[in-house]
Structures are given as structure tokens and as C-alpha cells.
Amino acid sequence: MKTLAQTNGRGQYKTVNDSLYVKATPVRDSAGDSGNMKDTAISDEALMAGYASGNIKAFEKLYLRHKDPLLRFFLRQVSRRDEAEELFQDTWQRLIKHSKAYKSSAKFTTYLYHIARNRLIDHYRALGRQQEFTQDFDGWEDDNSSQIPIEPEHLVQQEEHKHQFLHALEQLPALQREVVIMKLETGMTVNDIAEVVQEKPEAVKSRLRYGLDKLKHYLRELNPSVVEGAS
């Protein structure tokens, strides 16, 4: 049986059932690719409820809406693309497996990324690096970073600055990096992110602030012209 991200030779992706196919364009590591695919007339929650009732087209829409940012969520946090793609596949497979347990009162995005985060932590644990998800505030402080006139969410969409952005992102502690990625890639609110990581909103807000300030600091060190060009 093929996994979700394996094609049948016609650009289609199989679900866990060999008789069911979900058409999708290949996942890409580029910001904003899936925006024009979104059909926002139907909420994610309604689509997930529909899929749980057997509507495969509903799953297709969900997959198209969320595949690119979800892949980037993993690409930004593991060292190899094949590892990121495996985690990506596993997340969708787990979503499929437990689809009937989904309650429409839960926001789909937080539900999806909670599954993704758990899979990421499992991956870190297998590598003996689970302690990285217990190290939060590291005492770092830079009073100048918050004054830097630069918005990281703009840089990630600019190809000429993408390398610097990704390198700077790698320097963040795991707990700060994940909330920064969720904020920049999905636009989730602090409360939504708090639900994903099972922490109080105040803790998430602190991680996000330190993470973004530190990201600006690293970007300034890597390429001062990036900061100057943003002023």
C-alpha cells in the first residue's frame, strides 16, 4: 500500500485506502504557493467533519490548503528534506487514521499542528535530542533587537534573503523556533499556538517575543544590509 505522498504516476496521491486517490500538486518549499488554491467558502472544520463522514473531496481541499505550510513547518526544524517529508507523510496518515475522533468544536489548524508537533517530538526523541524541547528561556537578551525595523515574515517571502532567514532560524532554541514558524507560516494566534503546544498563552507570547527578537539579531549579524534595506 502506498503512503499519502507517493504518486501513482499521474500526479495523484494515495490515501491509506488503495482505492481512494487525492489529486494534489507536488508539495514545494516556497511561501504562498497554496494561497490561490484555497476555497474559503467552506471552513476547515466543516471539511474535516465531512471527511470523517467519508467525503474524500473534503480531504482533498484540506490537503491543498495546508500541505505547503505543513511541509515547511518540518523543513525548518529538521536537517534533511527526506526526514521532513517522512514526518509530513506520517502527520497526514495519523490525521486519516484518527479522523473519526475529530470533534468539530476543535479548530482544524490547531488539531493538525498538534499531531505534527507530537510527530516532531517523537523524531527528536529517536535522535536522543528530546531535551531540546525542554529548554526554553536561555537568558539571552538584546535591547536593540526590538528596535530593528525588519519584519521576518516579509524576508521569508523574498528569495534574495531566504538563505539568511533560514540560517538565522536554525540558531533559535527548538521551543522558540517552533512558535515563530507557526506564527509566520500559518498566521496562528498566540492562543491557537498555545493550544498546539499545550502551554499557557503568556508562555507562548514570551517565546514568540524572544524568538523574533533573536531572529532579528541573527539576521543583523548575518547580513547588515538586510536590516538597512528594511529601514
Q: How confident is the model at residue 134 (pLDDT cuts 50, 70, 90)?
A: low
- Work out the number of other CB atoms within 10 angstroms of the CB of residue 138: 12
Cα–chain center distance at 88? 10
Q: Where are the beta strands (DSSP E) in the chain?
A: 12-14, 21-23
Rounded distance between C-alpha atoms, residue 11 and residue 5, angstroms: 10
pLDDT at residue 2, rounded to an integer? 37
CB 8 within 8 A of CB 20: no
pLDDT cut 70: percent of the chain above it: 65
Distance, in Å, from the CA atom of 201 to the CA atom of 195, rounded to the nearest integer, reads 8
CATH architecture of 139-230: Orthogonal Bundle (1.10)
Question: What is the residue extent of each domain of the chain?
Answer: 12-131, 139-230
Q: Calculate mean pLDDT across residues 59-88.
A: 94
- What's the topology of domain 12-131? Rna Polymerase Sigma Factor; Chain: A (1.10.1740)
What is the pLDDT averaged over residues 19-28?
A: 38
For the cut 80, the answer to whether the pLDDT of residue 55 exceeds it is yes
- Evaluate whether 12-131 and 139-230 have a shared fold: no
Q: Do residues 112 and 66 touch, judged by C-beta distance below 8 A?
A: yes
Q: Tell me, what's the pLDDT at 26?
A: 42
Determine the pLDDT at residue 189: 94
Q: CA-based angle 156:82:216, to the nearest 5?
A: 25
Residue predicted with more confidence, 70 or 11? 70
How far is C-alpha 195 from the chain's CA centre? 14
Angle at 31 between CA 87 and CA 135, to 5 degrees: 50
Higher pLDDT, residue 53 or 33: 53
Least Cα distance to 110 among 118, 85, 34 occurs for 118
Position 25 scores a pLDDT of 36
What count of Cα atoms within 13 Å lies in the side-chain half-sphere of residue 42?
16
pTM of the model: 0.74
Give the least confident one: 118-127, 142-151, 168-177.
142-151
What contacts 80, CB < 8 A, 6 or more positions away? none
Q: Which residues pair with 13 in a beta bridge?
A: 7, 22
Q: What is the mean pLDDT of residues 76-103?
A: 93
Q: What does the pLDDT average to over 129-145?
A: 55
Report the Cα 17 to chain-centroid distance in Å: 26
What angle, 0 to 180 degrees and rounded to 10, lies between the N-to-C axes of helices 190-197 and 174-186? 130
Contact (CB, 8 A) for 219 and 152 = yes
